[in-house]
Amino acid sequence: MQINPWEAEQILAVAGSSQQSKTVLDYFADQVDYQIQTQLVSELMARYVEVSRQLEVRNRQLEQSDANRREAQIIAALGNWQMNLATNRLWWSDTMKELLDLPDSEDAEIERFLETVHPEDLPLIQTVLEELYRGAEPPPCQLRLVMKDGQIKWVHIRCVVHRESEETQWVHGTIQDITAAKLIEEQLKKYNDHLEELVEEKVKVISATQLSTIYALVKLAESRDDDTGD
pLDDT in tens, the chain (230 residues): 455 555 555 555 555 455 565 665 666 666 666 677 777 777 777 777 777 777 776 767 666 666 555 665 566 668 888 888 888 888 888 888 888 888 877 777 888 888 899 999 999 999 998 888 887 888 999 999 998 888 999 999 998 888 776 665 888 888 888 888 888 877 877 777 777 777 777 777 777 777 777 777 777 666 666 665 55
Is residue 62 within 8 Å of residue 74, measured between CB atoms?
no
Strands of 169-177's sheet, edge to edge? 89-92, 78-84, 169-177, 152-163, 141-146
What does the pLDDT read at residue 123?
Answer: 93
Q: What is the pLDDT of residue 142?
A: 92
Its sign, for the CA torsion 86, 95, 77, 64, is negative
Closest CA to 115 of 104, 105, 134, 101: 101
- Taking Cα atoms as reference points, which of 152, 142, 208 lies closest to residue 175? 142
Pairing of strands 89-92, 152-163: unpaired
Bridge partners, 91 (sequence order)? 82
In this prediction, residue 214 carries a pLDDT of 76
Question: At 197, is the secondary structure helix, strand, or coil?
Answer: helix
Global confidence as pTM: 0.54
pLDDT at 63: 63
Q: How far apart are CA 196 and CA 202, in angstroms?
A: 10
Q: Say what the pLDDT of residue 209 is.
A: 79
